[in-house]
Amino acid sequence: MSVKAPILAGGVSAITGVAASTGVVLAAMKGLGASDGQILSIVFVATAGYGLLSILLSLRYKMPLSIVWSTPGAAMLVAAGTLNLGFPVAVGSFIMSGVLLTLTGLWPTLGRLVSSIPKPIASAMLAGVIFSFCIAPFKVITTNPWVILPALVVWLALYRFATIWAAPAAIAVMGVVIAITVPIPSANFSLVPHIEFTMPEFTLTGLFSIAIPLYLVTMASQNIPGIAIMKTYDFEVPFKPVMVTTGLASVFSAPIGGFAFNLAAITAAINANEHAHPNHKKRYLAAVYGGVIYLVLAILAVPFVAVVLNVPHELILAMAGVALFATITSAMTVATEDSQMRLPAVITFLVGASGFAVWGIGAAFWALASGVAVWQVLKKRS
């Protein structure tokens, strides 16, 4: 029992995280201009990196520190893809975002500054930039009803009775139906890892359109909630070493595919609760076993991505949209729960959903700036 429980918890958290978010990541990287080879490199390097960091940090601090990619961050990157900045600029922006994460660990004032942004505004920004993603499943119902409708039914049923499995199961259903009904060319089933280097380009447009929004979304939607969730299970996350480690990992792996490393949020609870291990001091084993599963999934990255890249783009977007239903629900709830912050949050959401871009800077930044401006105006008036 004591051995099987952490293995099961780690396996569930790792597989759930990958299954629910890979479609979002692939769509984001494709939109940013990554080639098929670069996408293969991203999935392999990122998944392997999450596994290694989860194992090393959990063993070092004897607590379940699960490291993952940021699904909300990837969704935000989809909006940035409409700016056509080119993938080298995106890679440079990933590095800058990693630098900001590192500075957050070294300079606590930066972390407090990020935390000072009202949660309704940060959540509304996230909801706005992923809005077009979340309506994608409904856009293709008329053309692919037998792919979308069964997935929606499964998602709703499981969201009611087993929430954590809702998105992975719905995506699995879509995958099975697509495999049966949609002609997919034969793919490369090699298990040899593919790593491809991309020379980064650093621009102000990339800083404001990708790096800063990715950093803010990663902190607001992953790191800060992840720390809070761990605290509910009596685990005090070592803030400085975790931020510095994940930040530096993001910086040095970005040219070969590590677009963001951060703490798990929702799936963190799977490894930290009493089901992972009855002994509080042994629950770190769940994150260690989860890290091993990540390494196994990394080996399977090439055939998996090769198949997914042959799936029609609109269906990939639909799969990603289903994966983000819970995210936008949570974001909208936080955005509107405080009546005094409701108008700034709504403005933030509308700007983010509009795709508004000026001077080459995308909607995520302007949504945040607009929401904060409206908040300050109303704050001074009151």
In a domain, 264, yes or no: yes
- List alpha helices for the chain, DSSP H: 4-31, 36-61, 71-81, 87-106, 108-116, 119-134, 136-139, 145-161, 163-181, 204-206, 212-218, 224-232, 239-253, 268-272, 284-299, 301-308, 313-323, 325-336, 342-354, 363-381
Q: What are 18-36's pLDDT values in tens digits?
A: 766 777 788 888 889 999 8
Tokens of 128: 């706005």
| Residue 266 predicted with pLDDT over 80 | no
In a domain, 354, yes or no: yes
What is the domain range of residue 235?
Answer: 4-144+184-315+326-381
In a domain, 286, yes or no: yes
| Residue 76 predicted with pLDDT over 50 | yes
Of 196-200, 202-206, 276-280, 345-349, minimum mean pLDDT range: 276-280
CB-CB contact of 205 with 361 (8 Å): yes
In a domain, 168, yes or no: no
pLDDT for 201 equals: 95
Residue entry with tokens 């995958």 = 175
332-340 mean pLDDT = 88
End-to-end CA separation in angstroms for the chain: 58
In a domain, 171, yes or no: no
In a domain, 152, yes or no: no
In a domain, 178, yes or no: no
Q: Considering only residues 241 and 9, tell me which one the structure prediction assigns the higher pLDDT.
A: 241
Q: Cα–Cα–Cα angle for 168, 211, 247, nearest 5°? A: 75
In a domain, 172, yes or no: no
Beta bridge partners of 12: none
Q: What are 206-262's pLDDT values in tens digits?
A: 998 899 989 988 887 788 777 877 786 788 889 899 999 999 999 999 999 888 899
Query: How many structural domains does the chain have?
Result: 1
CB-CB contact of 257 with 45 (8 Å): yes
Give CA–CA dist 72/141, Å, rounded.
Answer: 24
The residue type found at 277 is: H
Record the pTM.
Answer: 0.72
